[in-house]
Amino acid sequence: MNNKSEEIIGLLSEYLHGKSKALKLALISFFSRGHLLIEDLPGLGKTTLAIGIAKALGLSFGRIQCTSDLLPSDITGVSIFNKNTGAFEFHQGPVFNNIVLVDEVNRATPKTQSALLEAMGEKQTTIEGKTYNLVRPFFVIATQNPVEQFGTFPLPESQLDRFTMKISIGYASRQAEKEILTSGSRREDLYSIKPVLSRDEVLKIQDAIREKVYMSDKILDYILDIVEATRNNKHLLAGISTRGVLAINSTAKAKAFFSGRDYVIPEDIRELAEYTIPHRIIAKEEYEHVDRKEIIKSIIEGIAVPA
Amino acid sequence: MAAIKGVYTIRTEGALNVCTYIGGIISFLSVVRYIGPAFSLFFIAMFLLALYFEYRKRYVISRTALNITLVLFVVLNSLRLSLADFATPLVEMLLILLSVKLIEEKKARDYLQIYTLAVFLLTGSALLSLDMLFLLILIIQAFLLPVSIVLLTFHSQQAGMRITNRDLKSIVSRALLIALVSIPVTALIFIILPRTGFPMLNILSRAGVSAGFSDSIKLGEISGIQENSAAILRVEMKRIDPRMLYWRGVVLDYFDGTSWKSMNKEPRGQGNFAVSGPRVYQTIYLEPYENKYLFALDKPVNIYYRNTTISADVTVAARQNIERRIKYSALSVITETMMQEEIDRTRYLQLPDRDFSGVKALVTSLSAGKKSEALAQTFLHYLRDGGFAYSLKILPVTPNPVEDFLLKYKYGNCEYFASSMAVMLRLSRIPARIVGGYMGGYYIDFGNYYLVTQNNAHVWVEAYIEGKGWIRLDPTPGGAVTSAGPEQRDALLKIRLFIDSINYYWNAVIIGYDLERQMTMFIGLRDVMRSPFRAMPSLRDMVSGVGLMLTAILFLIAAFYLLSRRKPVEKKMVAEFVKKMKKRGHSRMPYEGLEEFADRIDDPVLRDKAVGFAAQFGAVYYRDRKFTKEERVLLEKLLDEM
């Protein structure tokens, strides 16, 4: 299974020059049944990443471009009256895809945001009093712009908490950009790549990660040590939530799986910490200007690993 | 290998042999006191031969021949075994086995056999005696054997191996630790086991008896008792007038002309026995000897020891012979006279069918109208100041030694004086008997006790005077018996007394330990803590208190050490890994995972090994599995390679 992930990464890095790290993180959050928030400047390849993952995994893909006039039904779907049958017919929205790219999520109004986030959290959506289960697997990649101008509704921390990881892609390296320039963007080719995995295989891997990867008590204690430290930290107002703990747990398992192990080691947690933790914590007002990643780093460096 | 200053290498085999031979000689020393001289000589010869073989690296005697001889010897020797004396032949046999093992060309198993034999010999020596020397040898062996076994492990892994003196030092210090750690266990056993005393197994031992005191005295046959300076009694008590130090043993009432015997004893009845005088309470440690009588200061009123009987003539007897050191307490009234209303006159006037005409004439000439007590005093003076000489020289054995002593030779030991006195009294119709026991003793201030040795053995006379009872009369001229000792300025004697006092502490505190006593002592110590000057405990209590405290402290240290050292294997391995890496200049942060840390190492060769270790280790550790033996060996190998 491990080589599958390498195959995906190998396949996609042709299209995503120098973004293998982001790709790997995205795959981890996908296989840990989470959702991904990418905070980055526009035009750095977020969409390419999302499409690439969807295609490589042989899954359906939907895209929502958020604007302030986007309505919840634009995401979830809408019932339209059919004159021929004389009944309302439900037309599924983009959320009924396996992989949903929500572009510039902080441009949508809170009402629309929460509709999306309900879908993310519950893997179901309620439309006109009727609850629909979403397809499996279900993976949301949301993007947001860090420097914000006008007409944005920043996601509150409670919503942010629903994302398993928050990453940024960053500028491509000089070398990678040169390659892009010489060969041109290959976005179109992405749509025609052959999937590496089938949907069933994807689900199997997800199950295997959840059930087959062993999480030692020592590691659980290590995680809880970190969690407790964030809750008692003098710089922080709020620490990691229980949902956060679950996210740390499942991403660590996924990472272990992709590293070819069936057990979790402390590195799995440590290396993902800067993506899984900072967006979940709330710094005290006087420390708001301090980089949260730094706070988390210093907290983790204060905790001895087991062994 | 680069030579580092102060570090040199030693052949493990050499070190191993040194330890083994020292262990062998110590084993020999532990039993040399008990075995026959032939065995000692044989062992020494074999030992020297073994050293010679070792030096020449040639072992000329074939193993098969040795083994056949040994089997024959063991079979023959086992014929000597008897229930009465089981331990000595056994020990001798073990010693022979050991000496033969030493001259053989030694493989690993031969070394192990030597060590096993050494342990057996030590155990065997405990069957024979449990004294201070045993403790010393136990400590030495408990240290030496682990060292030898560790060295043997090295040696058996690789024959011509060399180790550095530093490694040797660490081996030695660890062996010391093993010996040290065993102390708490020993202390625990010491506390919970009842004292088995001396020796451990009565039935198996020959009781280490010193020949001497007996309940019959045959004149002219000095049993060597008075030239034997071995201790017989140690009596913890106040210091008293040395002239009153008569340790009463057995009463002898039947004289057959050459020897005195003890007739059947009747138990002491109620009310016909009265003494008055200062009471002295004694705690007595009696060494084993070939009889069953218990000694106490004259006149014992009560003796506190199980199954003892006091007979009408105030002889205290245990049920069987004293075959091991016993401890008892006694209450005595210090007096020369003892009132007893009714006595069996025929018994105490018995005289053998001998011709005492010479004595009779002497008695008549001395009597001159004097009666009972005055007459007895006259006899006493006659014997003490009448030209009789005290001598340990053997008198010619004659059919009538009393008459010959009184009229012819005029020298003899206390037995002659007392016998003659008793015969003279009986001839004058004064009931008389002989009392055997000890007289005098060295008072040892260091331990507040009297040391009474075999050469303090003594006999004296008791005469029955109407209206007064039994009075003690000691006709032996003064100074005959070694008396209490400040005048003894002999340096050797002082050393002997000092050694005896240490021995006494060993018996009193270690062998004679009981919990109640220790409790009392603790309470005493507590009182001292509260008011140090009011209640000074005796030196002895202090010594045992300090000993107990030291044991407790050692126990705590060892327990702490054990607990803190009892890291699981995983922790130890990681610690070693980290230590090794640190030596190579890579220090791991406590928050770093092992793989992460290993990845960080820049030396590619070392990094590969470190990564390999981290992966192997993690696969077990983070799966919460126990290491299998193979995994452990593999990881240790990886560690060694780093």
| CB A37, CB A163: distance < 8 Å | yes
Confidence of residue A249 (pLDDT cuts 50, 70, 90): very high
Q: Indicate if B522 and B427 belong to the same structural domain.
A: no
What does the pLDDT average to over A192-221? 87
B42 in any annotated domain: yes
Question: If you count residue pairs, one on A and one on B, with CB atoms under 8 Å apart, how many are there?
Answer: 56
Chain A contact for B344, CB < 8 A? no
Q: Are B327 and B257 part of one and the same domain?
A: yes
CA–CA dist A25, A261 (Å, integer): 17
Which one has a higher pLDDT value, A246 or B619? Answer: A246
Are B124 and B91 a contacting pair, CB within 8 Å?
yes
Range of the domain at B165: 9-202
Task: Determine the residue of chain A that is closest to B569 in CA distance.
Answer: A307
A216 CB burial (10 A radius; 0-12, 13-18, 19+): buried
Q: For helices B414-427 and B357-367, what crossing angle results, to 10°?
A: 70
Q: What percentage of chain B exceeds 90 in pLDDT?
A: 4
Average pLDDT, integer, range B78-107: 80
Which of A250-264, B384-398, B530-544 reaches the highest mean pLDDT? A250-264
* pLDDT given for residue B485 in this prediction: 44
The pLDDT value recorded for residue B190 is 61
Same domain, B185 and B54: yes
Sign of CA dihedral B197, B198, B200, B203: negative
> Which has the higher per-residue pLDDT, A1 or B311?
B311
Residues B177 and B251 in one domain: no
Q: Would you tell me which residues 166-195 of chain A have a C-beta closer than 8 angstroms to some C-beta of chain B?
A: none
Within a domain: B479: no
Residue B197 binned pLDDT confidence (cut-offs 50, 70, 90): very low
Q: Which of A253, A263, A300 to mutate to test the interface with B (most CBs of B within 10 A)?
A: A263
Q: State the Cα–Cα distance between residues A110 and A107, nearest whole angstrom.
A: 9
Q: Evaluate the CA torsion angle B58, B63, B67, B69 in order and state its sign.
A: negative
- Answer whether residue B451 shows pLDDT above 90: no
Measured distance CA(B421)–CA(B383) in Å, rounded? 8
Q: Would you call B267 exposed, middle or buried from its count of C-beta atoms within 10 A (0-12, 13-18, 19+)?
A: exposed
pLDDT of B542 strictly over 60? yes
E strand or H helix that includes residue B374: helix B372-385
> Of B555, B586, B612, which one is at a domain's C-terminal end?
B555
Domains observed in chain A: 2-199 (3.40.50.300), 213-300 (1.10.8.80)
pLDDT at position A248: 92
Q: What local confidence, expressed as pLDDT, does residue B490 receive? A: 66
Of the residues B473, B505, B532, which one is the last residue of a structural domain?
Answer: B473
Determine which of B96-100, B517-521, B543-547, B580-584 has the lowest per-residue pLDDT on average: B517-521
Look at B624 and A218 and tell me if their CB atoms are within 8 Å: yes
Whether B374 and B438 share a structural domain: yes
Question: Taking 70 as the threshold, does the pLDDT of residue B5 lie above it?
Answer: no
- Which residue type occupies B94? L
Q: Does B460 fall in a domain?
A: yes
pLDDT of residue B517: 59
Yes or no, beta carbons of A300 and B591 under 8 Å apart: yes
- In chain A, positions 242-271, which contact chain B (CB-CB < 8 Å)? 261-267, 270-271
Are residues B545 and B625 part of one domain?
no
Cβ contact (<8 Å) for B622 and A217?
Answer: no
Q: Give A159→chain B minimum CA distance, Å.
A: 31
Please check whether residues B55 and B152 belong to one and the same domain.
yes
Contact (CB<8Å) A307/B623? no
Does A76 score more than 80 pLDDT? yes
B120 and B261 inside one domain: no
Among B155-169, B211-225, B491-505, B542-556, the minimum mean pLDDT is found in: B211-225
Q: Are B137 and B122 in contact (CB under 8 A)?
A: yes
Distance from CA of B589 to the nearest CA of A (A): 8
**So what's the pLDDT on residue B632?**
81
User: Are B467 and B584 in the same domain?
Assistant: no
pLDDT surpassing 60 at residue B472: yes
Euclidean distance between CA atoms B262 and B246, whole angstroms: 19
User: Please, are residues A74 and A64 in contact by the beta-carbon 8 Å criterion?
Assistant: yes
Pairing of β A61-65 and β A99-103: parallel
Query: Least CA distance to B577: which residue of chain A?
Result: A307
Residue B157 confidence (pLDDT) above 50: yes
**What is residue B177's predicted lDDT score, i.e. its pLDDT?**
82
Judge whether residue B204 has pLDDT over 60.
no
pLDDT (0 to 100) of residue A159: 82
Q: Do B159 and B237 fall into the same domain?
A: no
Domain stop point among B177, B202, B227: B202
Burial of B41 (0-12, 13-18, 19+ CB in 10 A): exposed
Instruction: Answer yes or no: do B255 and B128 share one domain.
Output: no
B570:A263 CB<8 A: no
Mean pLDDT across the stretch A65-82? Answer: 86
- B593/A305 Cβ within 8 A: yes
Considering its fold, how many domains does chain B have in total? 4
Q: Point out the residue among B571, B593, B624 whose CB comes nearest to the CB of A267.
A: B593
For residue B2, pLDDT over 90 is answered with no
Distance from CA of A266 to the nearest CA of B (A): 6
Domain-embedded: residue B490: no
B366 Cβ contact partners less than 8 Å away, ≥ 6 residues apart: B375, B378, B379, B382, B424
**Looking at the predicted structure, is the pLDDT value of residue A251 above 90?**
yes
Q: Which two tokens stand for residue B347?
A: 């018994």
Contacts 24+ apart (CB under 8 A), A224-227: A225/A303, A226/A269, A226/A273, A226/A277, A226/A299, A226/A300, A226/A303
Distance CA B498, CA B505 (A): 11
Cis peptide leading into residue A42 (ω within 30°): no
Contact B622 A265 (CB under 8 A): yes
- CB-based contact, B594 to chain A, within 8 Å: yes
pLDDT recorded at residue B446: 72
A265-307: per-residue pLDDT in tens? 888 898 888 899 888 888 888 887 788 888 888 888 888 888 7
State the ipTM, two decimals: 0.79
Residue of A nearest to B619 (CA): A263
Same domain flag for B158 and B304? no
Q: pLDDT at position B198, please?
A: 42
Mean pLDDT of B265-275: 68
> Closest to B622 (Cβ–Cβ): which among A264, A270, A304?
A264
